[in-house]
Amino acid sequence: MSHPSLLSASLALLKRDLSMTLTRGGGPLLAVGFFITLMAMIPLSLGPDSSLLSRIAPGVTWLCLALSTLLSLERLFERDYDDAVFDVLRLGPLPLELVALLKCLSQWLGTGLILSLLTPLIMIILGAEPSLALISLVAALLGSLSFALIGGIGASLALGARKGGVLMALLVLPFYVPPVIFGAGLMQAAQISASPLQALSFLAAYALFALALAPIAMGAALRSALN
């Protein structure tokens, strides 16, 4: 008997999930479309005052990023849960915590990464300084990773619930407070040419914290859901 190594099984799972993220259910297009639509609604609701828009552009873009990431996470575990694919995944070499983490990461690679690449663009369209592009990209990458991991906890908790999507948003959004604050604060600091280093390190710290906490919480929640 040949048993696959942790690495080769992880890669197999990552490859499968990434291809499903990119092709199924509208793929990243859905999240990108939502992101852009939200952005278009902002000037329409606030009026075209460009000085106001450029002042709030970073903060508002962050909120749009958080909501778009959240939207794409609703079905993170649900498909495999409904199809009983977890019956196979659990009998492989990977612990459930790692399975959950890999699913989060492939979701992030498939949508969060693309949304992060769009973030500087959206911010500039809304009127922020183009010089902020690089720092906003770095911040968006860290932020969307936190959003994906924390959102994964929500998705695993809401698994199998009625109206799982709304429930998930309700559970997850309060946990988005720190990355939203640090991310938007970072942009604000950069806007007034203050050092964004403090906010950036808080943002990175929260991403690491989520990376440590999320697998444990998702593993426990999935274990109870898959009984």
Partner 1 sequence: MINFLANPERFTRVTAPLRPWLVGLGLALMAWGLYLCFASPEDYQQGDTVRIMYIHVPFAYLSMALYAAIGIASFFGLIFRHALADAAAKAIAPVGAVFTVIALLTGSLWGKPMWGTWWEWDGRMTSVLVLLLFYIGYIAIHNAIEDEQRAARSAAILALVGLINLPIIKFSVEWWNTLHQGASVFRADGPTIAPAMLWPLFVMIAATHILTAWLILVRIDSEILARKYRALRARLSYN
Partner 2 sequence: MPHILMVTDLSLRKGYNLLIHKLNFTLSSGEAIGLTGENGVGKTTLMRTLAGFQTPDSGAICATENDVQIESEIWWSEHVHFLGHQDALSPARTVSQELEFQAAYLGGDLGKVAPLNLKPLLDLETRYLSAGQKRRLSCARLLMAPRLLWLLDEPMAPLDSAHRALVAELMQNHLEEGGMIIAAVHDALPFATTGLRLERPAREVAGV
Nearer CB in complex with partner 2: 9/168: 9
Please write down the HEC assignment for all residues of 79-111: HHHHCCCHHHHCCCCCCHHHHHHHHHHHHHHHH
State which residue, 204 or 220, has the beta carbon closest to partner 1. 220
Instruction: Identify residues 24-53 at the interface with partner 2 (CB under 8 A).
Output: 24
Q: Which stretch binds partner 1 (CB under 8 A): 96-104, 112-120, 121-129, 182-190?
A: 182-190
CB 24 within 8 A of CB 75: no
Token output for 65: 């990023």
Task: Report residue 66 as tokens.
Answer: 């958080």
Q: Is 196 helix (H, G, I), strand (E, B) or coil?
A: coil
**Binds 177, which of partner 1, partner 2, none (CB < 5 to 8 A, cut-off by type)?**
partner 1
> Smallest gap, in angstroms, from Cβ of residue 101 to partner 1?
15
Which residue lies nearer to partner 2 by CB, 93 or 130? 93
Q: Contacting partner 2 (CB under 8 A), which of 31, 89, 141, 187?
A: 89
Distances in whole angstroms, Cα of residue 84 to Cα of each of 5, 77, 137, 158: 23, 11, 37, 17
Stretch that binds partner 2, among 18-26, 59-67, 179-187, 205-213 (CB under 8 A): 18-26
Q: Provide the CB-side half-sphere exposure for 162 (13 A, CA).
A: 0
8 A C-beta contact, residue 149 and residue 104:
yes
- Site string (154-173) toward partner 1, x via CB under 8 A: ---xx-xxxxx--x--xx-x
- The distance of closest approach from Cβ of residue 38 to partner 2 in the complex, given in angstroms and rounded to an integer, is 28
Of the candidate residues 29, 49, 87, 212, the single one contacting partner 2 (CB under 8 A):
87
Residues that bind partner 1 (CB under 8 A): 153, 157-158, 160-164, 167, 170-171, 173-175, 177-178, 181-182, 185, 188-189, 202, 206, 209, 213, 217, 220-221, 224-225, 227
